[in-house]
Amino acid sequence: MCAILGCFDLPTGDDLAALRQRAVGMSSRQRHRGPDWSGVAVRDGAVLAHERLAIVDPGSGAQPMTSRDGTLTLAVNGEIYNHRSLRERLDYEFTTASDSEVINALYAACRDTSFVGRLNGLFAFALWDSEAGRALIARDPMGVCPLYWGRDSVGRLWTASEMKALVGVCDDVEVFPPGHVYDSEIGLVRFYAPEWRDYDAVAGSDTVPTDLRSGFEAAVHRQLMTDVPYGVLLSGGLDSSLVAACAAKFARDRIEDDDRSRAWWPRLHSFAIGLTGSPDLAAARVAAEAIDTEHHEFTYTFDEGLDALPEVIRHIETYDVTTIRASTPMFLLARRIKAMGVKMVLSGEGSDEIFGGYLYFHKAPSTREFHEETVRKLDALHNYDCLRANKAMMAWGVEARVPFLDLEFLDTAMSMDPSRKTIADGRMEKHALREAFDGALPDSILWRQKEQFSDGVGYGWIDGLKDHAEKAVSDADFAAAATRFPHNPPRSKEAYLYREIFERHFPGAACARTVPGGESIACSTPEALAWDPAFADAADPSGRAVLGVHGGYTHAGRVPG
């Protein structure tokens, strides 16, 4: 992944030399995302800047990328996993082996926005067609890649991978919506609206667990597309362990030449972090031994995590409690991974949203509501777990890929009859996924109950944060929280502490509004709060707050007794 910055709708007579310097300065605020090279392109009507993290075709593929005839200029953040199959069907004179160049080729073939839906990958891009005086801005369907946009005081339209690049320039900065493309000729268009969003379209589906297994293995295989050292994040939970097990299956061969030659880095490396004695570290050891990875285990102290909080919040650009709790150990882990020379990792985000893995899904009153909540969770994912995985890792120039959100696998998993996913008759959450991978992992991992990541790194992490906030925030300040922070007023002293730090880096009402909820209660969406009255009064979003659920299952997935 990389960082992009674009400027369009330039006023007549704009000073392009001065605007170029301004764009370079703004883009430099997100250079941590692309430490390998910087590029800038100035055209009549547009300025594009790019900070590159070279993952595919590091020898070429520098950006902004220009078509051979000079009419198209493109800046991309992300990876296009199906770029080779798309290339084979296009009559276009490619100038690089980069996966990103296929975007220029697709646009050149149709000259409209219809091509965006053909991309399977994680991406955010800005494209300028100088011949038509036309700008396109797009973001991947699930919002794995971050993207913001806004206008400055003279009406220029700016877009950037991170909000920090636009602060002080755009007073109306907003999150660019996932699954949408902006076309300067017609406006904002939604390009991703799969049928599985409708419960009636999937109820009674004949998708079976074997489809899940083959589909997920194919997704992991696609996402091993890389020309640089890579690894897997391994917490010892179900999702990361499945990612690691599948990656280990394919690690010996080189994906980019259809597995015909040995991989450049055939030994799979796995990475875990936690406080000393954390549940995740213990489970990750078991998983790593079973999968036979080269495993790297790191510990951090509570004080080290606390010291990192201001930088974490600056990088992840949110004040959501759950996201900050989980981002901090991930941020620290990314730094260690970077020091080892690894530039890409696979991670397990998305599984809980697809399969109803959060503990509050035990309270779902019906199969329909269960499914509708998974759809709502996926819609919100770009503000929470995708944001965390992307920005916490990219703070140190490490790309995180999320195979559970591969579009082909997502279609398979979300098209499954929701009755196969619901937690009933003694079944554990994510039973269908566990069943699909029977035998792939030790039972203690395959049937391990969900831990929130911020719980699993060590319960002392969350408890310590609460204690620290209780001392750091006065009763008087907290009592006036709604006055000081009228949008999403903090409901706990911990939330107040994070909000103060966020405001230092991102002042103004527009920045505050980019965070939709401030405190994701039990990781639920508002519609699910009605499932259990206790949710509505819970100010603590930890998984342990879902009473009567956490710890109630054995590794066999049944309630004891």
Catalytic residue numbers read 2
Three-state secondary structure call for residue 91: coil
Look-up of token digits 């999320």: 402
Which residues of 219-360 form beta strands (DSSP E)?
A: 230-233, 269-274, 294-299, 344-346
Among the listed residues 400, 479, 410, 472, the one whose alpha carbon sits nearest the alpha carbon of residue 202: 410
Distance CA 289, CA 271 (A): 13
Distance between CA 529 and CA 95 in Å, rounded?
A: 53
Is the CB of residue 399 less than 8 Å from the CB of residue 344? yes
Question: Are 285 and 469 a contacting pair, CB within 8 Å?
Answer: no
Long-range CB pairs of 288-294 (<8 Å, 24+ gap) are: 288/234, 288/244, 290/245, 290/441, 290/442, 290/445, 291/241, 291/244, 291/245, 291/248, 291/441, 292/248, 293/232, 293/234, 293/244, 293/248, 293/268, 293/269, 294/267, 294/268, 294/269, 294/270
Contact 466, 545 (CB under 8 A): no
Token pair 């597995």 is at which residue? 259
> Can you name the residues that pair with 4 across neighbouring β-strands?
50
CB 156 within 8 A of CB 5: no
Cβ contacts of residue 447 below 8 Å, gap of 6+? Answer: 428, 434, 553, 554, 555, 556, 557
Q: Which residue has the tokens 């949710």?
A: 535
| Pairing outcome for strands 157-160 and 72-80 | unpaired
Measuring CA to CA, which residue among 529, 551, 558 is closest to residue 541? 529
Which of 524, 523, 528, 503 has the alpha carbon at shortest distance from 513?
503
Question: In sequence order, which residues have a C-beta less than 8 Å from that of residue 561 and are 6 or more positions away?
Answer: none
Per DSSP, the three-state class of 357 is: coil
Residue-level length of the chain: 561
- Identify the CA nearest to 280 among candidates 308, 340, 238: 238
Sequence letter at residue 302: F
Coil/strand/helix, residue 150: strand
CA distance 282 to 243: 18
